[in-house]
Structures are given as structure tokens and as C-alpha cells.
Amino acid sequence: MTSALVVVPTYEEAENIDLLLRRIRVEAPDVDVLVVDDNSPDGTADLAEATGGELGHIKVLRRAHKSGLGSAYRDGFAFGMARGYDTLVEMDADLSHDPASLRTLVREIELGADLAIGSRYVPGGSIPTWSVRRRALSRSGNTYAAWVLGVPASDLTSGYRAFRAATLRRANYTETKATGYAFQIELAYRVARSDGHITEIPIEFNDRTRGQSKMSTRITLEALALVTWWGIRDRLSRRGQPAPAPTPAAPVTAKQALA
Ligand SMILES: Nc1nc2c(ncn2[C@@H]2O[C@H](COP(=O)(O)OP(=O)(O)OP(=O)(O)O)[C@@H](O)[C@H]2O)c(=O)[nH]1
Ligand SMILES: [Mg+2]
């Protein structure tokens, strides 16, 4: 088996982190874990370190300020790259992502995929706790993004996925700009544009039962605005017209992107 690192970004996940780490160890004893914590006031980092000390092969990267999911993954990936991991996995800390699917995701990379997405929208995938309306909203957002960007996948916003490390490097992951779950779309888009092979495996997604969600309307708007912007930019540059300047280096807020 190749070496795999699961990167778990955390902000105030004290109620979930210990159980998550134990379940990962049971379901996928061969993978290492990196918790990227943004100085959570509830002591998530200390708890993760304590569990890590007991189980081994678990590290905690402590960051000084809450800086968003995208930035946590960029730092986590850089940590994994520097240590030579072949596969880097993204996973939420809130137990929405069942650790039982971890081995399958890593296996997809071993079988040749560049990006394996744990998908709610392929046959066998499900979100048992969501209303029909919420599912339809998420589904149509994903269909829109896949269509606009030409990425062959049905669940671009899923945060449970595995990457071949070399592919992430080739896709210049350090240049991603998005902060919220637009970051997930941006990374899949970059993999597709660098001719990466994307596969999807079905997952069951469960809403968090403990701790606070960090989702917001701002994050949804950021995704919508950025996807539309990237789509327009692509179409213009395909027509041979000079492409507008790339998105600014500073994090783009929904307001700025829509302006
Ligand atoms: N390090 C770090 N982690 C974060 C930050 N924001 C969210 N996270 C973590 O990212 C993961 C996903 O966040 P959630 O709040 O579950 O967001 P979500 O899954 O999009 O939203 P829900 O569907 O409401 O759960 C969780 O493990 C969070 O603790 C952040 O600013 N920094
Ligand atoms: Mg969540």
C-alpha cells in the first residue's frame, strides 16, 4: 500500500475529534492523520494531541487564527508533500464522513485515479437526513458547477476525497484562492484542467449531530460567484480573446466577486 495522510481541518470540534480519530484508526489502520486546528477556543488541538499520543501516527498542526477551510487544506497538503505522502485525503471532523469509506478512496488512487471523490450523487450515495428541498438545492448547484466548468463529476462540493499528491502539485494547489467550499470545486476544476482522471465512489453523508456548523450564505455565494467567473473566463480564453486578469491574490469575498 502507498502512504496516505488524512488531513482533517478543525475549528471547535472538541465534541467530535476523539471519536473521529479512533474510528479512523479502526477503519483504516494504515493511514496517518494530520489535524489542522485554528486555535479552537474549545481545546480541540489539545484533545487531538492527547488521542494522537495514545494511538500514534496522528499529528496536530496548530495555526494561530481561524483562516478558513481552503487555507487549512493548503497548509495540510504542504505538510504532507514535505513528508513524501503519495495520497492526501480530505475529511471533515464532524463525523459527516464515514471513516469506513476511507480505504476505498485511497484504493481508487492506487488503482490510477488522480482524484477520488466520495460522492452523494452517484448510485449508492445518499444523504438520509436532508429534506428533498435541501438535496435539490445542493444537487442543482453541483450540476451547474459541473456544466459551467466542464468537470466530469456529480459532487464537486464534497469535502470527502482523496488526491494523488503528484496531481495536486501539478494542479498548483497552492494557487487556489477560494476559502469556503468553493475551494472543493476549485481543486476538482484544477485537476480536470490538468487532465487528471476523476472517479467517484458512493458515500452516505450524515449531518453533524454535535458542534456548530461553519456554513454560511457568504460561503454559498462565494461558490456561485467564483464558478460563474471561472466559466466566463474559460469561454473567453477558448475563443482566443485575451483572458481577463486572474482572480486577485487576496481572498475573494462574495460581495467583491459579484460586484
Ligand atoms: N482549521 C479550520 N477548520 C475549519 C474552518 N472552518 C471549518 N473548519 C472545519 O472544516 C470542516 C467542515 O466544516 P463544517 O462546519 O462541518 O462545514 P460543512 O460541513 O460545510 O457544513 P455542515 O453541513 O453544516 O456541517 C469541519 O471539520 C470544521 O471544523 C477554519 O476556518 N479552519
Ligand atoms: Mg460538516
Query: Each residue of 207-231: pLDDT tens digit?
Result: 998 887 776 778 788 888 899 999 8
Residue 156 CA to ligand 1 center (angstroms) comes to 16
Residues 96 and 210: their CA atoms lie apart, in Å, by 10
Query: Do residues 21 and 34 make contact, with C-beta atoms less than 8 angstroms apart?
Result: no
- For the record, the C-alpha cell of 250 comes out as 487576496
* Least distant ligand from the CA of 20: 1
Read off the DSSP letter of residue 138: H
Query: Each residue of 62-72: pLDDT tens digit?
Result: 999 999 999 99
pLDDT at 240: 73
pLDDT at 242: 54
State the average pLDDT over residues 141-161: 95
Q: Is the pLDDT of residue 120 over 50?
A: yes
pLDDT at 180: 78
User: How far, in whole angstroms, is CA 37 from its chain's centroid?
Assistant: 15
pLDDT at 178: 87
Q: What is the torsion angle, in degrees rounded to the nearest 10, for the CA atoms of residue 66, residue 72, residue 74 and residue 75?
A: 90
Torsion over CA: 209, 211, 217, 219 (sign)? negative
Number of the ligand 1 atom closest to the C-alpha atom of 37: 1
Q: Is the pLDDT of residue 247 over 70?
A: no
C-beta of 69 in contact with ligand 1 (< 6 A):
yes
Q: What is the per-residue burial (b if ≥16 Cβ within 10 Å, else e) of 145-167? A: bbebbebebbbbbbbbbbbbbeb
Which candidate, 197, 199, 200, 172, places its Cα nearest to that of 186?
A: 172
Q: Could you give the C-alpha distances from 256 to 61, 173, 186, 189, 259, in angstroms and in order? A: 31, 22, 18, 21, 5
pLDDT at 150: 94
Q: Could you give the C-alpha distances from 258 to 24, 69, 169, 209, 229, in angstroms and in order? A: 40, 21, 30, 33, 9
Query: Each residue of 45-100: pLDDT tens digit?
Result: 999 999 999 999 999 999 999 999 999 999 999 999 999 999 999 999 999 999 99
3-state DSSP percent of the chain in helix, strand and coil, to 5: 45, 15, 40
Which candidate, 6, 179, 161, places its Cα nearest to that of 77?
A: 6
C-beta of 11 in contact with ligand 1 (< 6 A):
yes
Task: Give the pLDDT band (50/70/90) at residue 248.
Answer: very low
Query: Do residues 96 and 207 make contact, with C-beta atoms less than 8 angstroms apart?
Result: yes
Residue-averaged pLDDT of the chain: 90
C-beta of 179 in contact with ligand 1 (< 6 A):
no
* Phi, psi of 21, rounded to the nearest 5 degrees: -60, -40
Mutate to test the pocket of ligand 1, among 71, 94, 185, 218 (most ligand atoms within 8 A of CB): 94
Q: Is the pLDDT of residue 16 over 90?
A: yes
Residues 91 and 210: their CA atoms lie apart, in Å, by 16
pLDDT at 79: 98
Residue with cell 456544466: 147
Q: Is the pLDDT of residue 253 over 60?
A: no
pLDDT at 173: 96
pLDDT at 201: 98
C-beta of 211 in contact with ligand 1 (< 6 A):
no
State the average pLDDT over residues 145-157: 96
pLDDT at 245: 47
| Beta strands 115-119; 161-164: pairing state | antiparallel
State the average pLDDT over residues 102-123: 98
Specify the higher pLDDT residue, 178 or 33: 33
* Least distant ligand from the CA of 211: 1
- For the record, the C-alpha cell of 18 comes out as 476523539
The model carries a pTM of 0.90
- For the record, the C-alpha cell of 241 comes out as 480573446
